[in-house]
Amino acid sequence: MPDESKMDDTTPTSGMVSAPNLKQMDVSTLRKFIIDAQTLETKKVEQEKNKLLSDFRLEAAKLGFSVSVAWSDLPTPEPDFKAPKKTKGKAQAKYRGPNGEESTGLGRPSKWLTDLEAAGHKREEFLIPEE
């Protein structure tokens, strides 16, 4: 086994494959790498499931049992990560002021709108007509 004090990130060890430097990959190469890795993971999971089922059937047969299981009958496990939340995007403006200022009407009212209301205007005067 190599001397660990002399190893760096690119030094292969027995039975291990050195990892590619992801930081140096361009976007298209990185995306292809990810797709290839996901495809390989799917194949390996399938192989491991089949081996597990085979081993289980063998052990059950030794005890006089027969096992009939289809993987499609079993629930799919949840992934270890959560997908990012989808954003709804920017809210459309509901009010437009005399100088082109806009406000969505959500949250705290804009200063230009409160100033105009304080001067005697009504908020409805600045409603943007629906199309």
Among the ranges given (19-28, 42-51, 83-92, 114-123), the one the predictor scored with the smallest mean pLDDT: 83-92
Give the separation between CA 54 and CA 61, rounded to whole angstroms. 11
pLDDT-based confidence at 48, cuts 50/70/90? very high
Give the separation between CA 35 and CA 30, rounded to whole angstroms. 9
Q: Report the pLDDT value the prediction gives residue 7, as an integer from 0 to 100.
A: 47
Q: What spatial distance separates the first Cα and last Cα of the chain, rounded to whole Å? A: 73
Name 57's Cβ contacts closer than 8 Å, sequence gap at least 6: 66, 67
Chain segment 34-44, per-residue pLDDT in tens: 999 999 999 99
Domain assignments of the chain as residue spans, ordered by start: 22-73, 95-126
CB 95 within 8 A of CB 123: yes
Structure tokens of 89? 């995007």
Please provide the DSSP assignment of 80-131 as one string: SS-PPPPP--PPPP-EE-TTS-EE-S-SSPPHHHHHHHHTT--GGGGBPPP-
Name 91's Cβ contacts closer than 8 Å, sequence gap at least 6: 104, 106
Chain segment 80-118, per-residue pLDDT in tens: 777 777 777 788 889 999 999 999 988 999 999 999 999
Chain segment 63-84, per-residue pLDDT in tens: 998 877 766 666 777 777 777 7
Tell me, yes or no, if the pTM score tops 0.75. no
